[in-house]
Structure 1
Amino acid sequence: MDSFSIMANSILAVFSVMQLGLIPIMAEGETTVFGAVGEQVILPCIDKSHSDGVTWKYNDRVVIKYQGQLLKGITPMVSRSELNKQEMSKGNFSLILSQLEHSDAGKYICEVGSRTFKVQLQVFEVTGSPSGYLLQGENLMLSIQGSSSANVTWSNNRKDKVTATQSRELKNGGRSLQIHNLQAEDSGTWRCHITSLSAKLDIPYKVLVIGFHNLNQEILYKAVNSTVSFSYSLSTHLLQIRELEYVRVGLEWKLMIGSKYLEKFNFNVTSKEPLWSKQMANMEVTWKPSNHLEVKLPRVQSKDAGWYQCQLTVSRGRVEKAIHLVVMTVSADPVGPLSKWANVTLLCKLSAPIPPNAQLFWEHVNGTEKKLNMLGHSEVKVKTKTVGLWRCSLKVENNMMTSIDYTVVKAAEWNNYVIWAAVGASIVLLLLASLCTFICTARQRRRRRAEKMARARRDLIERRTCQCQLQLKNDYSDA
């Protein structure tokens, strides 16, 4: 028999033996599965031949086995492993692992009848340093722990891919993300995306930043004698942070940059306190325990201008936000009615310099006169003879911020006001004088009448006394 015939017969013999099941078929291709620490993962094993039994092994040690009944081995993950019996009847022998640990990573083998399936499990974890809640302005390092062969990318809380910037730094080939100067807007779920040729995984990481919204410099422009409201909103619901053991809220004030803050008030926050409102330092303070402080200051004066800084102090540090209050005042020289041919100087002034994109100006309401301030000046003057309503206004980027009205009155008009006021006062005084005269006269009449009656009574008594004495004397004489 030639060599070709011998080779052909040998191949046929091998196939015959394999069909009889005497020689195991070669193992199936290896599958890679990614899992996250603390989560659940499914290791696939599909065999539509509906075999009655399956054995799962980890590092050649039995994890779980089913041959008519369920048997478990002694591997570390055995208490966290299970099979879906309903799916097994459909040929699905996948292994379910719960509460993954780093030690669960490795090679798993699924044996179903004569078939063998290999699964390579890689376990990853995203860690943050520091962990737990963070304060505004702190830095956060996110790192991925696990296989170094996978490709790693990151996305922020708005699902945008993170690239290297001044505040975002990628390290260790992208396996670590350094977030500098955290802001309230950074709170939310960040994600680590892990990919390879055969597997992928997204791991979320919740970033919780305690801070104030809109940390940019906030300026409130208010007219004198108006009411101002300072609003401070936190990015996080404080009562939802279990680690917070100490929370203190306070308000400070200073007149100008460079001066020292002076405390207006402070209070401790407890989870049991409902929404409350109190009077503190001549202010109405409203606190919503979750994340909001509102302070109302009535009848603002020039002395109230300055920076109002809210401080939130926790056991790990503090965050703060300042609001700048700028007060507008107006005055006139001379004060009072404007005499004929005289001028009046109207002055409008702010308690702080205005920005370059602002306009401070006087205008005559329903008139054409208008006077703008000089660039960079915080006051504007207008010298005028025009009577009527004048208005000082402040616009920033064409948005009206605040205004004050002042009325210039003619002297004649003022004199009329004075005359009518004098006439009215005279009438009132005359009525009061008449009333007083009537009351006094009535009292005098009553007094005279009382005195007259008293004299008559006294004379009558004296007269009766004399008559009695005379009668008594006559009686003695007769005796």
Structure 2
Amino acid sequence: MELSGTALSCMPAALLLLHLGLTSSMVHKNEFQTGLAGGEVTLNCPDILPESQLPRDSVVRWKYSDTLLWRMENNQRYWRKPNFISGRSDIKTQYKLSVRDLKLSDAGIYTCEYGTHKVHTSLHIVNLKISLDGHFLQNEVPELILTQNSSSPLPNLSITLFDSNNNRVTPEIQNKNLQEYIVNLKKLKTMDSGTWVCQIHSDSPLINQNISFAVKVLGFQNPDLERKYATVDSTVILSWHLNSQKIKWKKDFTGQLNWKQQEGAESHELLDFIVTAEGQLHETKKSNNLLFEIPESKPESTIEVKLPKVHFNHSGQYQCQLEYERRHAQRKIELVVMKVSANPAGPLSRGASVTLTCQVSGPLAPDAYLSWERVDGTKMDSKSSKQHEVKLEVNISTAGLWSCHLIEDSDKKISFHYHVEEASVWINNVIIGASIGGSLLAFALGCLCIISGVNWQRRRQRAKRMAQARQHLLENKTCQCQHRLRK
């Protein structure tokens, strides 16, 4: 009885060991994998023998949650693709499950089963969407929306951005909830065009994922505001360089060039243009109010106008504007024109003076001013304007070459040279001689007039006497004739 009692008492232990042995022979693994919406992911079925070494009666299954996707039994393969994954999945070598064109709804638990082995893979899907499909104009602010989906609790993601030049960008993140993050970027410049990277990170579960996205910024390669300086009667070319060819902008866009003399003044459309998806530029001249030309030979993707002979009133703001899908971007070139005049004009006489006036057509930059100087002169022969003065006069009594400079940030932007000629000694003598000669001439004419008057008076008196003599002679002859008749 004791023996049988001992045997009976050993049976539970044996059954427990058998159960533990069976349990240890069953292998369960849990894995985690991240996929990007629109991309492709391959889920592994680890520790399985190659197909050629598997027993003939082996059964291999892939499931999504409790839904059977694929089964292999007796070397026969069967697909049972649900609608959500139909046409987007394949089985590769070593029974790996490949899913293409991932969607947020593909997130969940995928299980590979073979024999006593079960491998559970939790697929975490992340979707990154950029506003306007990544096509922007200058100074627009992109918006990124990062969405995640998982069968497990959603992790708290940290987001880091790198621009096309691999510079770290600090965005403004609006964390509505763990499922969706809204990220606002900075105002874009044309140099921001290229491939950006969004880096997401989580410690639990461990996620380190880099998501690349393309950014195209259509606009001008000119600075935000450009000043062009010119002197009266010079030739000026104004250019706006588009970057459409550089970034391979494959869509049509239009634009126009406007001019106005000052802020608030009436705007005049000079030309309009269209750029085709093939990058061809077509321009049409719209105005004859301003004398300008469209050069035939110019750089590719460039809007350009030529002013062959600048007038003082040609100054002002020249604005080139792009239009794409009812959005606009523009760049201004401010033309500043300088003119110089002298009062009185002409050679400078000895002891005389002249006023030279230098004037620019528009307001100057805060650090800009005008300056007169005599070339090869001394510091005494110079004068500078005060801040914001657009007109500078200088009174001079010394002939020579004088120059007016527009100086901005210690740099001479433009100069106008004016040569003051000195009246020669010969000219002065001629003037003096002419003055003396004029006096003598007047005196001689006066004398001549007096002499002529005297002679005329004498001739008149002589003629009178001769007439009287003739009359007296005639009277004597008449008397003699009468006397003879009486006799």
TM range (shorter): 0.7 to 0.9
Whole-angstrom distance in 2 between the partners of 1:308 and 1:82: 60
- 2:85 is the alignment partner of 1:81: no
Whole-angstrom distance in 2 between the partners of 1:250 and 1:414: 60
Amino acid at match of 2:227: I
Alignment of 1:381-420 (within 5 A): 381-412=393-424
Query: Of 323, 326, 339, which residue of structure 1 is paired with 2:336?
Result: 326
| Kept after mapping to 1: 8 A contact 2:313/2:361 | no
Whole-angstrom distance in 2 between the partners of 1:48 and 1:139: 51
Alignment of 1:448-463 (within 5 A): none
Map of 1:248 onto structure 2: 254
Q: Deviations over 1:32-71 (max 9, x none)?
A: 2111111111223321654636432112233234554543
- 2:223 is the alignment partner of 1:233: no
- Identical amino acids, percent of aligned pairs: 31
Aligned length: 401
- The residue matched to 1:13 in structure 2 has which SS? helix
Change (3 A) 1:407 1:69: farther
Change (3 A) 1:72 1:287: farther
Moved more, 171-180 or 109-118: 171-180
- The residue matched to 2:264 in structure 1 has which SS? coil
Amino acid at match of 1:38: G
Whole-angstrom distance in 2 between the partners of 1:312 and 1:180: 21
- 2:173 is the alignment partner of 1:163: no
Map of 2:34 onto structure 1: 34
Amino acid at match of 1:298: P
| Kept after mapping to 2: 8 A contact 1:190/1:205 | yes
Larger radius of gyration: 2
| TM-align CA RMSD | 3.4
Query: Of 337, 340, 357, which residue of structure 1 is paired with 2:367?
Result: 357
Alignment of 1:97-112 (within 5 A): 97-112=99-114
Map of 1:61 onto structure 2: 67
Whole-angstrom distance in 2 between the partners of 1:364 and 1:140: 55
Change (3 A) 1:16 1:375: closer
- 2:138 is the alignment partner of 1:128: no
Amino acid at match of 1:249: G
Moved more, 183-192 or 307-316: 183-192
Change (3 A) 1:288 1:71: farther
Alignment of 1:297-316 (within 5 A): 297-316=307-326
Query: Of 260, 265, 272, which residue of structure 1 is paired with 2:271?
Result: 265
Whole-angstrom distance in 2 between the partners of 1:105 and 1:118: 13
Q: Which ranges in structure 1 are unaligned for 5 or more consecutive residues?
A: 419-479
Amino acid at match of 2:107: A
Whole-angstrom distance in 2 between the partners of 1:232 and 1:384: 42
| Kept after mapping to 1: 8 A contact 2:139/2:187 | yes
- The residue matched to 2:87 in structure 1 has which SS? helix
**Structure 1 position 80, deviation (Å):** 2.0
- The residue matched to 2:414 in structure 1 has which SS? strand
**Structure 1 position 372, deviation (Å):** 1.2
Map of 1:13 onto structure 2: 18
Whole-angstrom distance in 2 between the partners of 1:311 and 1:162: 29
Query: Of 170, 181, 192, which residue of structure 2 is paired with 1:175?
Result: 181
Map of 2:120 onto structure 1: 118
Query: Of 200, 214, 234, which residue of structure 2 is paired with 1:194?
Result: 200
Change (3 A) 1:286 1:39: farther
| Kept after mapping to 1: 8 A contact 2:193/2:247 | no
Whole-angstrom distance in 1 between the partners of 2:298 and 2:398: 51
Map of 1:346 onto structure 2: 356
Whole-angstrom distance in 2 between the partners of 1:35 and 1:288: 49
Change (3 A) 1:171 1:293: farther
- The residue matched to 1:391 in structure 2 has which SS? strand
Change (3 A) 1:414 1:291: farther
Q: Which ranges in structure 2 are unaligned for 5 or more consecutive residues?
A: 1-5, 431-487
Q: Deviations over 1:97-145 (max 9, x none)?
A: 1111222111101124432111111222122344463334444332112
**Structure 1 position 220, deviation (Å):** 1.4
Amino acid at match of 1:73: R
- The residue matched to 1:208 in structure 2 has which SS? strand
**Structure 1 position 279, deviation (Å):** 7.4
Q: Deviations over 1:238-282 (max 9, x none)?
A: 99445x45x322111111111121111223333467467887752
Q: Deviations over 1:169-217 (max 9, x none)?
A: 5342681112465544444434333333323322233333333345532
Amino acid at match of 2:99: L
| Kept after mapping to 2: 8 A contact 1:286/1:293 | no
Whole-angstrom distance in 1 between the partners of 2:426 and 2:148: 88
Whole-angstrom distance in 2 between the partners of 1:392 and 1:139: 44
Map of 1:370 onto structure 2: 382
Map of 2:43 onto structure 1: 43
Q: TM-score, normalised by structure 1?
A: 0.73
Q: Deviations over 1:434-468 (max 9, x none)?
A: xxxxxxxxxxxxxxxxxxxxxxxxxxxxxxxxxxx
Whole-angstrom distance in 1 between the partners of 2:45 and 2:362: 74
| Kept after mapping to 1: 8 A contact 2:258/2:319 | yes
Map of 1:474 onto structure 2: none
**Structure 1 position 325, deviation (Å):** 0.6
**Structure 1 position 155, deviation (Å):** 0.8
